[in-house]
Amino acid sequence: MAPAMTDGMQTELRTLLRSCVQCGLCLPHCATWLATGDDVQSPRGRLILLDEILGGRADAAEPSFLAAFDQCIGCRACESACPSGVPYSLLEYGQDLAFAAAGSPAGWSSGPALPAPLIRRLSSVRFLRTAAAAATLASGLLRGLLGPGWRTRLARAPGGLGRLPRLLGSLPRSPSADEGVVRLLNGLIAAAAGAAAGRVEDPSPSATVGPESRVASPDILFFRGCANEGLMPGTSRRLLDLLRRCGCRVDVPQGQACCGALAAHTGDGRGREDRHRRNREAFGPGPAPADGGPWILVEASGCGHELKSVPGELAGEVLDATEILTRLSLPPLRPVPLKVAFHDPCHLRHGQGIVAEPRRLLRGIPGLELVEPAEPEVCCGSGGAWGLRYPDLSGILARRKAENLAATGADLVVTTNPGCLGQIAGALADVAPGLPVLPLTDLLWFAARKG
Ligand code: SF4
Ligand code: SF4
């Protein structure tokens, strides 16, 4: 709910709003502006609308106000791009105002494709596993019925049916068996070596990825995200294996819950606080001890952003997996002579300001060539629950992202957030079939594995 406005708050908001000089430099970084070309769906347009509302020249209950703010993905690319330092919190405030005026929780009246209670179920590990099994079954049936070109044929169907291929292909997944990762990457390496026809060097294994200050054997508390636990348990298991081989003492606290991000996305403040409380009980309540306490490792960028959004809540330092891995002495890494593109999840790049760490890890793998796609800062259109609520806009953005990634000529795409992984895999299946997406930590595990 939008807070009741005191005079002081009004003045503060006005000052912040005035810091937007309407230069428009944020527009090319805003996913919804890129997808629609509509100025109202840009950071600048939204701020102008907010100024109108606060100045009493427009009514917050106007459906167009709600539509503009509800369709903001919350990617924060505008905040990173803005030279005047206009904070994203202004857009959050506009969203609160719009939802409060609409009289419905979190703007569900403005065109969701799926009902909120169903989206909230996405934090249930059992529900996710059932959904994944159902999606696999449905894809198999459709392939059997319509043949190998089922995706293209179905995509031409009108309405919701046309969205089905992307929806079925967008559930985050990674190989559950270690052998699946090994087979996939060995196949890519063999194909790349064949394509390069002997031009591939065979670099020696590296000693370690080179962090400035390495930590020998830290204590790590492992945070399980719902999507990782429900849909990508093999990736979590391989990351645990890698951490133990780096000499870490790793514990997976019992009783931990969803980070609370999904509840937040659906306007369920009480549900979010409940998840935070359960995690305080599981990890110990904050603030962290003076020495920083144990590292709380978060695999999914979206969860990390949510857990870091309440500083000092847990009795340890919440860190993304890539932040921790760059601080460790990794085992010797075998060569992986592949072109690899990294996709920056917004929750990592804009939400947590983590850009260098994943790239440093990838550059530390001998023989690997890191290639950068165009528009690395633009959202892939997953946006947690957002992509389910605005599937058409989400589809446009997924395709744009997949085309940019494919244009790098990469053999492999890696990323660190399950939602982005599923979204990009679903779009690549149409744009560049044969270009796989893996969690970054699976690639690192492969490079570091024994035997
Ligand atoms: S938010 Fe920043 S970048 Fe965007 S129009 Fe305003 S001042 Fe320019
Ligand atoms: S948060 Fe993202 S979608 Fe929203 S205005 Fe900023 S750049 Fe655009």
Distance CA 106, CA 2 (A): 11
pLDDT band with cut points at 50, 70 and 90 for residue 207: very low
Name which residue leads in pLDDT, 255 or 98.
Answer: 255
Give the contacts of 160 (CB within 8 A, at least 6 positions apart): 113
Quickly list H helices, 219-353.
226-231, 233-245, 261-265, 269-283, 301-308, 321-327, 346-349
Burial class (CB in 10 A: 0-12, 13-18, 19+), 65: buried
pLDDT band with cut points at 50, 70 and 90 for residue 397: very high
φ, ψ dihedrals at 251, nearest 5°? -125, 145
The ligand whose atoms approach the alpha carbon of 350 most closely is 2
Q: Please tell me the residue having the least CA distance from ligand 2 atom 4.
A: 72
Over residues 71-76, the mean pLDDT reads: 94
Over residues 430-447, the mean pLDDT reads: 96
pLDDT of 15 reads: 87
Mean of the per-residue pLDDT values of the chain: 86
Highest mean pLDDT among 221-235, 274-288, 363-377: 363-377
Pocket test for ligand 2, best of 39, 49, 69, 78 (most atoms within 8 A of CB): 78
pLDDT of 303 reads: 94
Of all residues in the chain, what percent carry a pLDDT higher than 90?
57
Distance CA 38, CA 357 (A): 35
Q: Is the pLDDT of residue 348 over 60?
A: yes
Give the lowest-confidence range in 3-17, 284-298, 336-350: 3-17
Q: Dump pLDDT digits (tens) for 276-292.
A: 999 999 999 888 887 77
Cis upstream peptide for 287 (omega within 30°): yes
Q: Which atom of ligand 2 is nearest to the CA of 77?
A: 7
Cα(321) to centroid(ligand 2), Å? 26
Q: Is the pLDDT of residue 54 over 50?
A: yes
Cα(82) to centroid(ligand 2), Å? 11
Give the lowest-confidence range in 65-79, 171-185, 200-214: 200-214
Cα(63) to centroid(ligand 1), Å? 24
Show the tokens assigned to 177. 């068996």
pLDDT of 210 reads: 47
Name which residue leads in pLDDT, 245 or 116.
Answer: 245
Cα 94–chain centre separation? 23
CB 321 within 8 A of CB 352: no
Q: Is the pLDDT of residue 208 over 60?
A: no
φ, ψ dihedrals at 161, nearest 5°? -60, -40
